[in-house]
Amino acid sequence: MVTVCYADASAVVRVFFADEPEHAEPRDLLASDRNRVPASELTRFEFASAMAAAKRSGRIQEAREFLDQFDATSCLRR
């Protein structure tokens, strides 16, 4: 039996923010090259929107750093 985990934007955002609730589980799943997790083409746009909101609210200083990290996350197959 094969288990497939789908990554939506809310799970992906948790990977990048350690203060998010339930951060560890999606981080361990997505931040490892052991797993290949499908994600929608829209996930990057939703993630970018979340990073823009985080910047506007002062939570982060620069969204580009997070977008670059997202793009480098090889387990996210779009």
The reported pTM is 0.77
**pLDDT the model gives residue 48:** 93
Helix (H, G, I), strand (E, B), or coil: what is residue 77?
Answer: strand
Asked if pLDDT for residue 30 goes beyond 80, the answer is: no
- pLDDT tens track for 39-78: 778 888 999 999 999 999 999 999 999 999 888 875 565 4
Mean per-residue pLDDT, 11-38: 77
Domain ranges for the chain: 9-77
pLDDT score of 9 more than 60: yes
Structure tokens at 4: 């497939």
Cα–Cα distance list, 27 to 1, 12, 55, 57 (Å): 24, 8, 21, 23
Of all residues in the chain, what percent carry a pLDDT higher than 90? 31
